[in-house]
Structure 1
Amino acid sequence: MLLKFILARGGYTVVHAADGQQAHTMIDEMPPPALVLLDIMLPYLNGLQLLAHIRQKAEWRQVPIIMLTADSNERDIQQALAAGANDYMVKPFNPRELTARLQRFLTVPS
Protein backbone atom coordinates (compact mmCIF):
# COMPACT_ATOMS: atom_id res chain seq x y z
CA MET A 1 0.00 0.00 0.00
CA LEU A 2 1.65 3.18 -1.25
CA LEU A 3 0.13 5.52 1.33
CA LYS A 4 1.25 3.40 4.26
CA PHE A 5 4.78 3.22 2.78
CA ILE A 6 4.95 7.00 2.29
CA LEU A 7 3.81 7.66 5.85
CA ALA A 8 6.09 5.06 7.42
CA ARG A 9 9.04 6.43 5.46
CA GLY A 10 8.18 9.85 6.87
CA GLY A 11 8.40 8.52 10.43
CA TYR A 12 4.67 8.23 11.08
CA THR A 13 3.00 5.27 12.78
CA VAL A 14 0.07 4.01 10.70
CA VAL A 15 -3.05 2.18 11.88
CA HIS A 16 -5.17 1.03 8.93
CA ALA A 17 -8.83 0.05 8.69
CA ALA A 18 -9.87 -2.14 5.76
CA ASP A 19 -13.41 -0.74 5.55
CA GLY A 20 -15.83 1.67 7.17
CA GLN A 21 -17.18 -0.84 9.67
CA GLN A 22 -13.70 -1.71 10.93
CA ALA A 23 -12.88 2.00 11.17
CA HIS A 24 -16.08 2.60 13.19
CA THR A 25 -15.06 -0.13 15.64
CA MET A 26 -11.55 1.29 15.92
CA ILE A 27 -12.95 4.77 16.64
CA ASP A 28 -15.03 3.31 19.46
CA GLU A 29 -12.23 1.21 20.96
CA MET A 30 -8.98 3.14 20.42
CA PRO A 31 -7.68 6.29 22.04
CA PRO A 32 -7.68 9.26 19.66
CA PRO A 33 -4.78 9.32 17.18
CA ALA A 34 -2.77 12.40 16.27
CA LEU A 35 -4.51 12.61 12.87
CA VAL A 36 -7.00 10.72 10.68
CA LEU A 37 -6.72 10.27 6.92
CA LEU A 38 -10.19 9.34 5.74
CA ASP A 39 -11.52 8.20 2.37
CA ILE A 40 -15.13 8.96 1.42
CA MET A 41 -15.60 5.84 -0.67
CA LEU A 42 -15.40 2.97 1.83
CA PRO A 43 -17.38 -0.26 1.99
CA TYR A 44 -20.12 -0.62 4.65
CA LEU A 45 -19.87 2.92 6.09
CA ASN A 46 -18.66 5.84 4.00
CA GLY A 47 -16.16 8.45 5.09
CA LEU A 48 -18.80 11.12 5.67
CA GLN A 49 -20.60 8.82 8.11
CA LEU A 50 -17.32 8.12 9.88
CA LEU A 51 -16.49 11.83 9.98
CA ALA A 52 -19.81 12.52 11.73
CA HIS A 53 -19.14 9.67 14.18
CA ILE A 54 -15.67 11.03 14.99
CA ARG A 55 -16.95 14.56 15.57
CA GLN A 56 -19.67 13.24 17.93
CA LYS A 57 -17.08 11.66 20.24
CA ALA A 58 -15.81 14.25 22.75
CA GLU A 59 -12.33 12.73 23.04
CA TRP A 60 -11.90 12.66 19.23
CA ARG A 61 -13.33 16.12 18.40
CA GLN A 62 -9.98 17.88 18.20
CA VAL A 63 -8.29 15.22 16.05
CA PRO A 64 -7.34 16.73 12.68
CA ILE A 65 -9.02 14.92 9.78
CA ILE A 66 -7.76 15.05 6.21
CA MET A 67 -10.11 13.58 3.63
CA LEU A 68 -7.97 11.76 1.05
CA THR A 69 -10.25 10.43 -1.65
CA ALA A 70 -10.82 10.03 -5.37
CA ASP A 71 -14.14 11.83 -4.92
CA SER A 72 -13.77 15.29 -6.43
CA ASN A 73 -17.50 16.07 -6.30
CA GLU A 74 -17.78 19.69 -5.11
CA ARG A 75 -20.87 18.91 -3.03
CA ASP A 76 -19.02 16.16 -1.13
CA ILE A 77 -16.01 18.41 -0.58
CA GLN A 78 -18.23 21.15 0.87
CA GLN A 79 -20.15 18.61 2.96
CA ALA A 80 -16.95 17.11 4.38
CA LEU A 81 -15.48 20.49 5.30
CA ALA A 82 -18.79 21.65 6.82
CA ALA A 83 -18.97 18.41 8.85
CA GLY A 84 -15.59 19.04 10.41
CA ALA A 85 -12.86 17.82 8.06
CA ASN A 86 -9.79 20.01 8.41
CA ASP A 87 -8.53 19.46 4.86
CA TYR A 88 -9.47 17.65 1.64
CA MET A 89 -7.16 16.10 -0.95
CA VAL A 90 -8.17 14.36 -4.16
CA LYS A 91 -6.41 11.20 -5.40
CA PRO A 92 -4.14 10.72 -7.15
CA PHE A 93 -2.06 12.83 -4.80
CA ASN A 94 1.49 14.12 -4.79
CA PRO A 95 3.39 12.58 -1.84
CA ARG A 96 5.22 15.86 -1.16
CA GLU A 97 1.92 17.73 -1.02
CA LEU A 98 0.50 15.16 1.40
CA THR A 99 3.60 15.44 3.59
CA ALA A 100 3.30 19.24 3.62
CA ARG A 101 -0.33 19.02 4.66
CA LEU A 102 0.47 16.50 7.40
CA GLN A 103 3.16 18.81 8.73
CA ARG A 104 0.54 21.53 9.17
CA PHE A 105 -1.14 19.33 11.78
CA LEU A 106 1.66 17.16 13.17
CA THR A 107 5.25 17.23 14.23
CA VAL A 108 7.40 14.45 12.82
CA PRO A 109 8.80 12.20 15.56
CA SER A 110 12.53 12.65 16.12
Structure 2
Amino acid sequence: MAQILVVDDSSTVRNEVGGFLQGHGLSVAYAVDGRDGLTQLKADSGVKLVICDVNMPNMDGLTMAEKVRSELGNLKVGIIMLTTENSPAMKERGKAAGIKGWIVKPFNGPAVIGSVKKLVE
Protein backbone atom coordinates (compact mmCIF):
# COMPACT_ATOMS: atom_id res chain seq x y z
CA MET A 1 0.00 0.00 0.00
CA ALA A 2 1.51 3.29 -1.13
CA GLN A 3 1.02 6.64 0.58
CA ILE A 4 1.80 8.64 -2.56
CA LEU A 5 1.13 7.99 -6.24
CA VAL A 6 3.44 9.82 -8.67
CA VAL A 7 1.84 10.15 -12.11
CA ASP A 8 4.00 11.43 -14.95
CA ASP A 9 4.77 10.21 -18.47
CA SER A 10 8.45 11.07 -17.96
CA SER A 11 10.34 8.25 -16.23
CA THR A 12 13.00 10.79 -15.25
CA VAL A 13 10.47 12.93 -13.37
CA ARG A 14 8.79 9.87 -11.79
CA ASN A 15 12.14 8.59 -10.55
CA GLU A 16 13.33 11.98 -9.32
CA VAL A 17 10.14 12.75 -7.39
CA GLY A 18 9.60 9.22 -6.11
CA GLY A 19 13.23 8.75 -5.10
CA PHE A 20 13.20 12.01 -3.15
CA LEU A 21 9.99 11.08 -1.34
CA GLN A 22 11.20 7.56 -0.55
CA GLY A 23 14.39 9.09 0.83
CA HIS A 24 12.16 10.93 3.29
CA GLY A 25 10.46 7.76 4.48
CA LEU A 26 7.35 7.83 2.30
CA SER A 27 6.03 4.86 0.31
CA VAL A 28 5.54 5.62 -3.37
CA ALA A 29 3.80 3.99 -6.32
CA TYR A 30 4.12 5.11 -9.95
CA ALA A 31 1.81 5.57 -12.93
CA VAL A 32 2.75 6.48 -16.50
CA ASP A 33 -0.34 8.56 -17.37
CA GLY A 34 -3.76 9.54 -16.03
CA ARG A 35 -5.44 6.34 -17.15
CA ASP A 36 -2.82 4.23 -15.35
CA GLY A 37 -3.10 6.50 -12.31
CA LEU A 38 -6.86 6.08 -12.16
CA THR A 39 -6.49 2.30 -12.40
CA GLN A 40 -3.97 2.28 -9.56
CA LEU A 41 -6.16 4.47 -7.37
CA LYS A 42 -9.03 2.04 -7.88
CA ALA A 43 -6.76 -0.82 -6.77
CA ASP A 44 -5.10 0.89 -3.78
CA SER A 45 -7.43 2.73 -1.41
CA GLY A 46 -4.47 3.57 0.84
CA VAL A 47 -3.08 6.30 -1.41
CA LYS A 48 -3.35 9.60 0.44
CA LEU A 49 -1.71 11.92 -2.07
CA VAL A 50 -1.29 12.05 -5.86
CA ILE A 51 1.47 14.14 -7.42
CA CYS A 52 0.54 14.43 -11.07
CA ASP A 53 1.66 15.99 -14.33
CA VAL A 54 -0.94 17.75 -16.48
CA ASN A 55 0.14 16.98 -20.06
CA MET A 56 0.30 13.22 -20.63
CA PRO A 57 -0.85 10.81 -23.34
CA ASN A 58 -4.00 8.67 -22.95
CA MET A 59 -5.42 10.81 -20.13
CA ASP A 60 -4.16 14.17 -18.87
CA GLY A 61 -3.78 14.94 -15.18
CA LEU A 62 -6.73 17.29 -14.86
CA THR A 63 -9.09 14.75 -16.44
CA MET A 64 -7.72 12.11 -14.09
CA ALA A 65 -8.36 14.38 -11.09
CA GLU A 66 -11.92 15.03 -12.24
CA LYS A 67 -12.52 11.28 -12.64
CA VAL A 68 -11.04 10.55 -9.19
CA ARG A 69 -13.71 12.81 -7.74
CA SER A 70 -16.64 11.90 -10.03
CA GLU A 71 -16.16 8.24 -11.00
CA LEU A 72 -14.35 7.00 -7.91
CA GLY A 73 -16.15 9.36 -5.55
CA ASN A 74 -12.83 9.81 -3.78
CA LEU A 75 -12.91 13.17 -2.09
CA LYS A 76 -10.25 12.33 0.51
CA VAL A 77 -7.14 11.81 -1.61
CA GLY A 78 -5.08 14.96 -1.99
CA ILE A 79 -3.96 15.85 -5.50
CA ILE A 80 -1.07 18.15 -6.34
CA MET A 81 -0.23 19.05 -9.93
CA LEU A 82 3.49 19.09 -10.87
CA THR A 83 3.68 20.68 -14.28
CA THR A 84 5.11 23.31 -16.58
CA GLU A 85 1.56 24.61 -17.11
CA ASN A 86 0.69 27.73 -15.14
CA SER A 87 -2.31 29.27 -16.90
CA PRO A 88 -5.12 30.73 -14.80
CA ALA A 89 -7.70 28.72 -16.78
CA MET A 90 -5.97 25.43 -15.97
CA LYS A 91 -5.63 26.40 -12.32
CA GLU A 92 -9.35 27.18 -12.18
CA ARG A 93 -10.18 23.81 -13.70
CA GLY A 94 -7.86 22.20 -11.16
CA LYS A 95 -9.47 24.07 -8.29
CA ALA A 96 -12.89 22.88 -9.43
CA ALA A 97 -11.53 19.29 -9.41
CA GLY A 98 -10.28 19.68 -5.84
CA ILE A 99 -6.58 20.11 -6.57
CA LYS A 100 -4.73 20.95 -3.34
CA GLY A 101 -1.68 22.57 -4.91
CA TRP A 102 0.09 23.55 -8.10
CA ILE A 103 3.86 23.10 -8.32
CA VAL A 104 5.65 24.43 -11.39
CA LYS A 105 8.47 22.17 -12.65
CA PRO A 106 11.27 21.57 -12.01
CA PHE A 107 10.53 19.64 -8.83
CA ASN A 108 12.09 21.23 -5.75
CA GLY A 109 11.73 18.54 -3.11
CA PRO A 110 13.17 20.45 -0.14
CA ALA A 111 10.71 23.30 -0.75
CA VAL A 112 7.64 21.03 -0.67
CA ILE A 113 8.48 18.09 1.61
CA GLY A 114 6.86 19.70 4.67
CA SER A 115 3.58 20.23 2.85
CA VAL A 116 3.68 16.75 1.31
CA LYS A 117 4.17 15.12 4.71
CA LYS A 118 1.25 17.08 6.15
CA LEU A 119 -1.01 15.87 3.34
CA VAL A 120 -0.19 12.20 3.95
CA GLU A 121 -0.52 12.31 7.75
TM over 0.5: yes
1:33 alignment counterpart: 47
Q: What letter is aligned with 1:90?
A: V
Q: Structure 1 CA distance, aligned partners of 2:93 and 2:114?
A: 23
Aligned to 2:82, what secondary structure does the other structure show? strand
Matched, 1:90 2:108: no
Query: How far apart are residue 31 of structure 1 and its match?
Result: 1.5
Kindly report structure 1 stretches of 4+ aligned residues shifted beyond 6 Å.
none
Task: Indicate conservation of the 8 Å contact 1:72/1:90, yes or no.
Answer: yes
Q: What does 1:2-81 align with in structure 2 at a 5 Å threshold?
A: 2-56=16-70, 57-58=72-73, 60-81=74-95
Q: What are the Cα deviations for residues 37-83 of structure 1, in whole angstroms up to 9, with x where unaligned?
A: 1111111000111001111223x211111111111122111210122
Q: What are the ranges of 5 or more consecutive residues in structure 1 without an aligned counterpart?
A: none
Task: Indicate conservation of the 8 Å contact 1:81/1:88, yes or no.
Answer: no
Write 1 or 2 for the structure with the bigger share of strand. Answer: 2
Q: Structure 2 CA distance, aligned partners of 1:36 and 1:22?
A: 12
**Sequence identity percentage:** 26
Q: What letter is aligned with 1:66?
A: I
* Root mean square deviation, CA, Å: 1.5
Number of equivalences: 106
Aligned to 1:16, what secondary structure does the other structure show? strand
Aligned to 1:15, what secondary structure does the other structure show? strand
Taking structure 2 as the reference length, the TM-score comes to 0.79
Task: Indicate conservation of the 8 Å contact 2:33/2:61, yes or no.
Answer: no
Taking structure 1 as the reference length, the TM-score comes to 0.86
Q: Structure 1 CA distance, aligned partners of 2:21 and 2:100?
A: 19
